Each structure stands twice: as C-alpha cells, then as structure tokens.
Structure 1
C-alpha cells in the first residue's frame, strides 16, 4: 500500500499549478480555505495568515521541514448550504521549485475572535489536490499560538515523512499539557481526572458526594480534567463551575447542534409543564390511566407560578429554569409513545413484559438461568420453588426445562440489596428483584415468578416474597404491581449502568487516550475519530445537569443521591473484553459457541427471535469486517502492531490511566497482534455506535409512558391483612398509580426521555463520514463503500424480519417493529427528532 497516494483530478482552485518565470525561481501552490461562519462573526479577519510545511523536504539551515512564506485570507465569498454559512478564501503560496509536497498548514490568527476552520485544499503539480479536513476552532494567537493542521494522508509513526516527524511529536506533546492549571475555553489539552465534581458541598452538606475513581470502594473510569480549584468545604471535591464545564474545543457541539438541542430541551420542559397544567392541578398523583393518556394531547396555555414554579426551580438547573420560565408561549407536545400508540393496553400484557427484555431499551441484562433455584454470589438461595413455576413449563419438569436452556432470569437482586436500607429511607419503596421466565416454543417469554426482597433484621436476614402470574381478580392486580417493581429496577439499572456507565462513561477514557497518544496523522486516529464526536461535551452536560448532586436523575430515580455510587459498584463487574457482543452473549448464556469456521462471530444464538442479539450480531460482523479490512491495509503483520509506538502508548494509557482502577486485571488484550488490535477497535466502535443506539434512542418509545417503565415506586406491593391491602382492594388501578412517582417527577421523566431519544439534524450515522475525502487512500475508500453496502443489506434484512409473522418478538402485541439497530444509511438531509431508528457513529447525546 502506498501511504503517500494523492487524490487525482482537476481542481476547483484553478487551471493547474502554475510556475513563474525562470528568473523568479519560484512555483505557485494555490489553496482554498473554508471557514464556517456563525451569526456573530463575519469571517476570520483579514490579517489571518496561512503557511504550508513541506513533508518531503528539510530546510538545511534549520533542520526542520521547509516552510513557505505567509499568505493572507482576504476577500472570501460566502455560500449557505443546509443551514450552514461557509466562507471560502482563495490563497497563493510562492515557494521554491524544490519545496516538495505540502504536508501541513500553520494558521496564525492575530485577531480577538475565534473562527471554525472546516477544510483546506492545496493544488500542486499535475493538478494533484491535497486535502485537509480540519473541523476545529482557531483561537487568537495570543491565547494559543499558531495552529497546525495535517493533510489527510495517514502514516504509521515509522512511515512519517522526515519533514513531519518533529511536528507530529510536538503536536501530541501540546495536546497532553503538563497536568496543571485550570483549563480555559481555548485550551486544546486532554488529561484525566476522577469524578470529583458531582457534588457541591459549598451549597450544603446534603450536596456532598464521594469521589468516584481512584479507590477500591468507588472505582470508576476517568473523565476529562478541568483543573478547577477545590471547594471550600471539601478539598477533594472541585468547586462548582461559574461557567460551562470545560470541554476541549474540538469536542464541543457545533453551533447548529447546540442551538437545536437547546431549543428542544426548552420545548421539552415547556411540554412537561403543559402536562402538569392539564388536569388534576394540585394532585400529587394521576387519578386514572385516562388522564395520563390525555396529557399527550394537552394544548392548554401555560402559567408557571406558585408551587409549580418552586418545584421546577428545585429540580432543574438554573439556566434551564430561566429558559423555561421566560420562553414564549407556543404549542409543543410529544407524540404518543410507541408502546401505547397502536395498542394502549399492550404494556400490561405478560408477553410484552417479557418481550421488552429481548427487544426493549435494556435488552442486554437478561440471561439464561444456570442453577435452579437461583443463588446469590454469597450462596444465599432464592425463595422461588419448583412448585411456583412447574405449572407454566408446558409439561416439562423444572429439570427438563433447565437442561433445555428454557428458563431465563432478569436479575436485579444482589447488587441492589446492600443499598436498599438507605434507599428506602427517602420516601420510596424498592425491592431487590429476581424474575424468572420460560422460553415458549414460539420463542416468546412467559413470566414464571417474581421474587421481591428487602433487608430484614440488622443481622442481614432478608424478607422475601414470591408472586406468580394470575389472569383475573386481586391476584392479577398483585401480579401487575410486582411487574411494576421489576420494571422500575430495570429502568434505573438501564439509565445508570446500561446507558450511562457502559457507554458514556467507559468511552471517555478512550477518547482522551486517542487524542493524547495517536497523532491525527495516524490511521487508527482517523478510524476512531467519528465515533468520538460530541461525547465529551455530552458527558460534561450530564455532569452539570443530570448526574450531579440535585440533578435531574437524582430527582427522578429511586436511587437518588446514591445513584452514581450504585453505578460505581457495578463498574466493579465491568470487563472490556466482555463488551464485545459475542462475548457478552456467551457470558449471559444467550448464545452457544459455534465451531463452524465460516461463522465470523464464532457463536450461535440460543434462539433466533432475540431482536437485539440477532440484529446486533449483524452490525457487529459488519463493523468487524470493516475494521479488519482497514487494519490489514496499514499493518502487514503482528510485528508491525508491536512496533507501533503510538498504538502501544495509547493502549497502555487506556489500561493504566483511563481505566486505571482496572490496571491489574488480566483480561486486557495484550496488543501484540493484529487480532488484538482488531478486536479492541471493533469493541470500541460497537460500544460508541450500535450499543449506545440500542439503549438510548428507544427511551421515549418505552419510558415515555411512565406506567410501562417508571423510575421509582412509592409503595410496596400490599400485604394481605394490612390497611394498604384494604385500600388496594377498593381501587387496584388507583393503588397502582399511587405506587408510581408523583406527577412532577413522572412528567419530568417524560421530558428527559424525549430529549435523550432525539436525533439532531447534523448527526452522522454508521457507514457515513463528515467528509468523503477525509483520507487520501483509495483502498480505504473501497473498503468503506463495502461497509456501507453491507449496512444497507442489513437494513433490508431487518425490514424483512420485522414483517415475518413467525418472529413474534420483532413487533409484539404493541406492534412496535424493532428498529433500534436499524442503521438508517439513507442520505436524507436534516433528518432528526424522535425517530426510534438510526445508529449514530458516536455517543452524541
């Protein structure tokens, strides 16, 4: 493979590279610089200068690569496309005839404004074009010095042209910083820190939160360092920011996305408040399911006053509170969540209850039961007996059902039990739960029993209760309440672990290590870059609005102030190698090893009608094939991986720093072969794209209707002979609704589900890139086209499966086709909203 291959063709920049008269002994290189304009900025400023570095020729006087004279950005022309205003400048560089091939640009911005540099292109001899995809802010020189951008030609470290070697190392060094000082808006510095900024002890002792990361008690992935000073009350906690949390400039949302998302969040809050204003003002709980249904069509005018104003102020960040209370009065409503759009009673069905464990928003927690009765890690045996389940095994004995791998468990027991004493002091009523299900001959799941546990005596004895399915009378109503408690456990686990921890939090260290250790010239940096878009910014917003002390999640999840500690407890179980989908399916007993050498996944699903597993394996296989093709173009053998100093430093930093609390684990890949590299890269891309899509973008479809998946319970399942039981018998539906969150918490949860499920219009999806010319390598282009074509084929197969009547879990009685792993490779412009489909490249919201 020729690493210095250039894109050929006639240029838009002119009629070809021209040469001045022989007397001048100079050549002309023409250039085109494209800058994205914001509403507050007209351009880059006339005195902004550009120079080019040669990548092939070294200046004998300085020992560095040759540098051209300055050219200035003047008289640019503006065009608007897809809502984006681009200003294009044409420049000329006068260079010596032996200047060589340009490999880098250096930009000097002497003004007091920043600008967003989108791209550049240089035309050299024979109309060859050298592309630069920049996509970065350029700040004033006095704050950042000059900015360097490298061309789209990618090199392994050992293949770097002599002229660029020093620049490559200097650029990486500048990105690492020195680990000290508070980061400023213009700093392009990537470093690590603990999650020591979730609390705000200066606000009061109730806002103190433990540091996550760096301890055996609370291990955690690292976040991007901001360097703020310690709080006054706790030297281990960073002070609360007076402005937005620092995010390196290249990781920030685009102005278009920031505006669009901000408007949607404001509208969502407005819609939530409309719901509160609709019916039952002053009532803590909804009086009937009909009232909940009706609120999705509420169009009443909004007045935010009294207790509603005080509750809003207490539960949302200050900026969001101000935006919401000052927003103009306009009609905004959420669509009916899919779970009730076609069949308003589908969510109550036992089959739908089981289907959501296979095709819902948290489809990777269910597992095949290995031992009956279930046991905890410490040997405590479940209270579920054979007598509880044997009548629902289609004539099989418990032993036969176990031998045939037909009993499954949704387990929210062991990890939760130690937290319950503290959780249940806060006015909520939560159990640790185990749910057993039976795989029927049509591949649907029949619930068998639910075990609900709470701590008993101070010695640690448990109080267990087993509830079995019933179809009518008070027994059916009790069963319905038990299912609600299971759904609540699953919802909180989903939000804190499946969604936040297993995607957002674990990926951030990979981003930081990539920026610090892999040059933008490195092909692996190019491969991973689109899968990191906007993630650090999304995580910073979460730390300031969602997961912080007093944040939205603490107000709507039963775990409240213990939420992040709970996620830290479950990080103890996290293993990077088990994040590979085939490994995860094997671990959970949802698949078996397949010895067929023609099967690229090496596994076979236990049953085919597992939508998440079936579609996921197709996406995983496509990603793995693309990553394999890509790596084979640049790495000739295993030795070339071992000798890649940047890859080795990158992997070492991920293991020992980014996920430093796991540094001594033996399951990390050794990174001594192409196989190690391919497996690690495939897992990263799968996690950032498909896994995140599968657990994020269905939130509104399922959680948007709170009775289906609420996030806390305020009452236990009533016990016969109690006052609560008498109340339950008088009106089971009202008792059920009183179990759920209050009106304000429930509706705020709907708004959050809507925001998190939204695709923005500038999203870039799996199989797409921001620029089609982002790498000058024809081999890569052909392999990427192959990847895109396979994703399109997967879409067709998903569409076919979703109308196959034999695959009942694809739609269920709710008639919701499983689309959460539908890639959506179409090139429709400005798509966005709550679509319930599409796999963005990255964790971008």
Structure 2
C-alpha cells in the first residue's frame, strides 16, 4: 500500500471497540484502503510491512508491550465496501521510548518568592496630572515623561490584611512592586482631565487578602490619585476598591510611604492586626507633632494652634492683639497650624504672610481649592474687580453721597448690558476659567450686580422698608 492511499478514517474514540482490553484498543489504528488492496494486507499483516505505513497515535496513549492483531471487520457503507483493518501499532522504537510525564496545573502557575502559587491581579488607576488653575503643567508632564523613560515611574505595592510578618512586628506582608503602565503612550490633554492607567500585581496566594496599597511616585511632579480598583483578588470579594482622593508628591517630599486603605470601616477592636501598624503610622504623620519647622504643602499635617497671629507687635504696642484660645478668658477657637516663625518683639506671637502671598499660606494639599473651585474663585474675583472699578472711582472723586434711592440704583443700572454667550458653545471650552469669564448672567458693564433682594420688584422693596 502506498503512503498516499493512507488517511485517517475516524478518531479512535469514535470507532466501535470490539471486546478486549483497553490496552489493545488504545494501541490500534484504523486504516482505510481500497477493496483491491484490502485482502493483500489482511493475509500478510506483519509489523515489518506496516512499519512505514501505519499512522501512529501519540506516544502518550501507546502501550509498551506488543498486542495481537485484531480480526478483520468488514461492512458495506453507501454502496462501497470498506475494510477496517486493526493493526498492531506498538513498534519497537515506540515501546522503548519513555512515557511522558504529567505536569500538574499548579506547576504551570507562576511561583512567588516563598514558593506558593501566585495570581495576577489586574488594577485600574484613575488620576489627574499636575495642573495650574485647570491648565495642564506641561513642563512637569515633560519631566515625568523623561523619568518614565529612565525607569523612574509610579510603583504600587499591595499589603496583606490577613498575613503578618513576625520579623517586623506582625506588620502586613508587602507584595512585589508593580509599575504603572502606559504613562509614556498616553497623550497629555491641554486641560486637567482624568487619566486611566493599568497596573498588574503578582500576588502570592499565601499572603492572603490585600487590605492596603503603598504608592511611590518617582516622577518629578505630583498627581491627584482618585481611585484604584482591583479585579481577581483571592478571597470571597474578588473586587477591591480604594478611594484615595489625595495628592501624591514625589518620594523625596516624604520621609515615609504613602499608604491607602480599602473602603472597609472597622471599629478599633475589629481592625485586622497586620494593618494596625500602618494605621497608627498614618495617624502619626497626619498629626505632625514631630515637625517644628514651617509647614510645606506636601507635609499633610492637620495640626491646630491658637489665634496668636492677629496682631503685628513689631509695628508698636498699638498693634498688639490678645491671643484667642488656650486661656480662661478666651478658651476658644482654634486655627490650622502653619509653623510660621514668631515675631521679633514677641516670641509668643506668630508672624503673618504679606497680602500678596496670602494664597501661599499653608493649607493641607488635599484641602485646598480644586482646579474648578480655584478657577471659579479667580474668575469671580476678576469680574467683581472690574464691576466695582467705575463706582469706586466715582466714590473716590465725588464721595458717597446718596440723596435718593435712585442714586443708589445707579450703582447697578444705567450701563451697557453684557451679551449672553451661547451656553452650548461655552460648554465646549475646555478651561473652567474661560467658561466662567464668558458667563454674564445679565450683568452690566462696569456696574455692580443687582442684589437678589431687589431683583424682582423694587417698588415692593420700598414698601417693605
């Protein structure tokens, strides 16, 4: 029989097996031949004549011992006579070959440093890059891009909430570092927008369930970390959510690691033991009792102090003011601690920043105005200044002398009404500062806005007073 006349008839599982042992059935193969050649091979089916013509099954199912030939079985199908020849397939070279070894599924999985199986946890990070009043800080974005090319990126590390390290006071064990993916390939927008990045963690199953994450920013600029969502976490909750909502500055700005916890609320007694040390450290850094210098924006200190900066004793005794808080006469209130140096004449009084630098007074970065609020504030400040420009000049020249209510109403009326900018076009502007400047709300040029108490009926207001 020529090799071109041989072909597979059916898979071995689909052939009806005659009576016999399973080893006999696994060692045979079906050959499909023409009726003219079938009798020739049936009368002299020696292993030598079949050694170059029989199609063999994989060695994993081939037995190691010779199996006697199976009798011929013939039947007619679709008017054509087919002969099914069951031939011996255990050749000597196959019988001598070693049996393949089975590989367990656990060995195929990645192994951690401790030898336990590791799972790959997919994460999604949502953040906002550094910006100034809604405008993206392109210089810091360029430096961040260069840092990424040099291998200095944003690194995340999961912390176990169920397995502690006995060598470190039962602190939660820390997993392998995972880098933020796609920073260099994501285009930077002109305005401050949200960006989504992927991160993949290799987490050992022996470490249990993560309950916190350490974030290290090796970039040149800061970013606002909104959230981190994990998928495929071991345990009953396959999905973990971290609500961060905090600005993360470069690692050189901190002497500790930035740690964020999952959205699980615990009573003090129910806090997982491996996370207690991280919680206490976070509280210690937020109090900031160890800092004695002037506080900077990245310090994240929520300390309190007395109102000892109301006066300016360096100008003379007439500018001295009492301290509010901490005394029997004035026990309250409190203010946020800034750490500014004391005055020259009174060491118990804290100095103040000049008016031009008042916006630089220390406020924790997470509590400062967002880009939207700051844009609204600056836009309204600019519009209020221009509206009061002419009335203030008139009052400086002529004095504040109102004879009638009509004179008072001239502060709000009698000028050119600003046109309404189309709302659908205004919303397309990507910068909040410009959007707020283009909104008129029916105001007039160089005139103060009408008070709401008299916007409806001025005559009714006159009757009330």
> Which residue in 1 is equivalent to 2:313?
201
Which residue pairs with 2:173 in the alignment? 66
Shift in Å at residue 294 of structure 1?
2.0
Partner residue, 1:164: 275
1:36-84: CA deviation from partner (whole Å, max 9, x where unpaired):
1221143696312111111122234543212111111231446979x75
Partner of residue 390, structure 2: 274
> Separation in 1 of the partners of 2:374 and 2:458?
35
The alpha-carbon deviation at position 106 of structure 1 amounts to 0.7
For the 8 Å contact 2:118–2:204, the answer to whether it is kept is yes
SS in structure 2 of the partner of residue 164 of structure 1? helix
2:229 — aligned with what? 121
Cα 1:208/1:165, change in 2 over 3 Å = same
Alignment pair present for 1:155 and 2:266: yes
> Higher relative contact order at CA 8 Å, sep ≥6: structure 1 or structure 2?
1
Give the aligned partner of residue 327 of structure 2.
Answer: 215
Q: Which residue of 2 is the match for residue 286 of structure 1? A: 402
2:125 to 26, 29, 33: 33
- 3-state DSSP of counterpart to 1:51: strand
Choose which of 214, 224, 228 in structure 2 pairs with 1:106. Answer: 214
2:284 to 164, 173, 197: 173
Query: 2:82: which partner in 1?
Result: none
Question: Within 1, Cα distance between the matches of 2:412 and 2:107?
Answer: 71
Work out whether residues 29 and 93 of structure 1, in 8 Å CA contact, stay in contact via their aligned partners in 2.
Answer: yes
Instruction: Identify if the C-alpha distance between structure 1 residues 348 and 101 changes in structure 2 by more than 3 Å, giving closer, same or farther.
Output: same
Contact 2:110–2:119 under 8 Å retained in 1 = no
Q: Out of 262-271 and 163-172, give the one that drifted further.
A: 262-271
Residue of structure 2 aligned with 1:229, choices 341, 345, 348: 341
1:87 matches 2:195? yes
Secondary structure of the residue that 1:216 maps to in structure 2?
coil
Q: Does 1:51 align with 2:157?
A: yes
Question: 2-side partners of 1:298 and 1:101: how far apart?
Answer: 69
d(CA) in 1 for partners of 2:405 and 2:187?
Answer: 54
Mapped to 2, the partners of 1:61 and 1:232 lie a distance apart of: 50
Kindly provide the CA deviation profile for residues 251-286 of structure 1, in whole angstroms up to 9, marking residues without a partner as x: 111122112212212221221223224689422333
The 8 Å contact of residues 75 and 89 in structure 1, kept in 2 or not, is answered as yes
- The normalised TM-score by structure 1 is 0.34
1:339 maps to 453
**In the alignment, is the contact (CA less than 8 A) between 1:279 and 1:291 conserved in 2?**
no
Residue of structure 2 equivalent to 1:251: 367
How far apart are the structure 2 equivalents of 1:205 and 1:153? 55
Give the C-alpha shift of residue 27 in structure 1: 0.7
What is the 5 A alignment of 1:681-720?
A: none
Larger relative strand fraction: 2
User: What SS class does the counterpart of residue 295 from structure 1 fall into?
Assistant: coil
Deviation (angstroms), 1:201: 3.0
Kept in 1: contact 2:411–2:447 (CA 8 A):
no
* Cα 1:132–1:270 shift into 2, 3 Å: same
Report if aligned partners of 2:126, 2:197 keep a CA contact under 8 Å in 1: yes
2:157 aligned counterpart, secondary structure:
strand
The alpha-carbon deviation at position 206 of structure 1 amounts to 4.7
State the shift of 1:157 in Å.
1.2
Matched, 1:260 2:360: no
Change (3 A) 1:92 1:344: same
- Relative to structure 1, the CA distance from residue 54 to residue 141 in structure 2 (aligned partners, 3 Å threshold; closer, same or farther) is same
Q: Give the Cα–Cα distance (whole angstroms) in 2 for the partners of residues 20 and 186 of structure 1.
A: 46
1:20, 1:27 within 8 Å by CA — same for their partners in 2? no
Select 2:299's aligned residue among 172, 184, 187.
187
Check conservation: 2:160, 2:209, Cα contact below 8 A.
Answer: yes
Cα deviation 1:104-163 (Å, max 9, x = unaligned)? 111112333222111111112488321111111111212213211111111111111122
Q: CA RMSD in A?
A: 3.0
Tell me if structure 2 keeps the 8 A contact 1:197–1:240: yes
**Alignment partners' CA distance in 2, 1:298 and 1:80:** 43
Contact 1:52 1:103 in 2 (8 A): yes
SS in 2 for 1:290: helix
| 1:271-328: CA deviation from partner (whole Å, max 9, x where unpaired) | 122322468942233343212212213548xxxxxxxxxxxxxxxxxxxxxxxxxxxx
Among 125, 132, 143, which residue is 2:242 paired with? 132
For the pair shown, the structure with the greater C-alpha radius of gyration is 2
Kept after mapping to 1: 8 A contact 2:233/2:240:
no
Q: Which runs of 5+ in 2 are unaligned?
A: 1-105, 112-116, 417-443
1:604-663 Cα deviation digits (max 9, x unpaired): xxxxxxxxxxxxxxxxxxxxxxxxxxxxxxxxxxxxxxxxxxxxxxxxxxxxxxxxxxxx
Q: How far apart, in 1, do the equivalents of 2:220 and 2:362 lie?
A: 20
Give the direction of change, closer, same or farther, for the CA distance of 1:262–1:200 in structure 2 (3 Å limit): farther
Q: Relative to structure 1, is the Cα distance of residues 68 and 338 closer, same or farther in structure 2, using a 3 angstrom cutoff?
A: same
Is the Cα contact below 8 Å between 1:104 and 1:151 reproduced in 2? yes
Paired residues of 1:196 and 1:237 also in contact (CA < 8 A): yes
Give the C-alpha shift of residue 194 in structure 1: 0.6
Q: Structure 1 221/172 Cα, relative in aligned 2: closer, same or farther at 3 Å?
A: same
Structure 2 CA distance for aligned equivalents of residues 272 and 226 of structure 1:
33
Q: How many residues align?
A: 304
Out of 292, 296, 316, the residue aligned to residue 412 of structure 2 is 296
1:192, distance to aligned residue in structure 2 (A): 1.7
Q: Counterparts of 2:188 and 2:220 in 1: how far apart (Å)?
A: 24
Q: Distance in 2 between matches of 1:31 and 1:75?
A: 13
User: What displacement does 1:203 show?
Assistant: 4.6
Q: Distance in 2 between matches of 1:253 and 1:246?
A: 12
C-alpha distance in structure 2 between counterparts of 1:135 and 1:169, whole Å: 20
Q: Is the 8 A contact 2:388 2:448 kept in 1?
A: no
Query: Whole-Å Cα distance in 2 between the matches of residues 210 and 177 of structure 1?
Result: 26
Cα pair distance change 1:332/1:91, threshold 3 Å? farther
1:464-493 C-alpha deviation (Å, 9 max, x unpaired): xxxxxxxxxxxxxxxxxxxxxxxxxxxxxx
Residues 230 and 241 of structure 2 are in contact (CA less than 8 Å); yes or no, is this contact kept in structure 1? Answer: yes
Q: How far has the Cα of 1:92 moved from its partner?
A: 0.5
More helix by share: 1
